[in-house]
Amino acid sequence: MTESIYQQIGGEAAVNAAVDVFYRKVLSDDSISGFFDDTDMDAQREKQKAFLTMVFGGPNEYSGKDLRTAHAKLVADGLNGSHFDAVAGHLQATLSELGVPENIAGEIMSIAASTKGDVLNQ
């Protein structure tokens, strides 16, 4: 059996290494920071870890329906394709900053892309 990409990049430790880098990027991007501007930064950070675990192909309990529910209120507040692309861009930049090999980064980006319909409730 081959290792999953989650195992290849180091599992939970990779999520922990990525979360602050990624979170800092989305909070600094005025076009999307409003969605993440929670006064409870620790709770928000846990959700970012859930997001990263999922796109890294790690163990998670989210179905497509859960992703729809989690983002439904955001879609009602105007979440659209350009916001999605911005998040994907920050994800890509995070991966290259952390030196994730290109083939693995490609797989991660395609997992993220596959969730677009659910995240945007389309």
Partner 1 sequence: MPSVEFSNRVYEAEPSESVLDTLLRNGENPSYSCRKGTCFNCMMRTPDGGVPEKAQAGLRETLRVEGYFLSCLCVPEGDIRVVQAEDAAIYQRAVIQSRELLAPDICRVILEPATPLYYHAGQFLNLRRSDGLCRSYSLASVPNLDRYLEFHIKRLPGGQMSNWAFNEMKVGENVDIQGPNGACFYLPGKPEQNLLLIGSGTGLAPLVAIARDALNDGHSGQVRLYHGSREPAGLYHRDSLFDLAQTYPNFSYTGCLSGENPPLGYASGRADDVALGENKDLKDWRVYLCGNPPMVHAAKKRAFLAGADIEDIHADPFELKELRAEQRSAERQKSVA
Question: Which residues of the shown chain bind ligand HEM in the complex (CB under 6 A)?
Answer: 32, 35-36, 47, 50-51, 54-55, 62, 67, 70-71, 74, 79, 83-84, 87-88, 112, 115, 119
43 and 93 Cβ atoms separated by less than 8 Å:
no
CA distance 43 to 111: 24
Of the two residues 17 and 88, which places its CB atom closer to ligand HEM in the complex?
Answer: 88
106 and 55 Cβ atoms separated by less than 8 Å:
no
Nearest-5° Cα angle at 69, 46 to 114: 80
User: What's CA 52's distance to the chain center, in Å?
Assistant: 5
Taking the complex as a whole, how short is the minimal distance between the CB of residue 37 and partner 1, in angstroms? Answer: 8
47 binds, among partner 1, ligand HEM, none (CB under 5 to 8 A by kind): ligand HEM
Q: Which x/- pattern over 17-56 shows residues binding partner 1 (rule: CB under 8 A)? A: ---x--xx--xx--------x-x-xx--x-----------
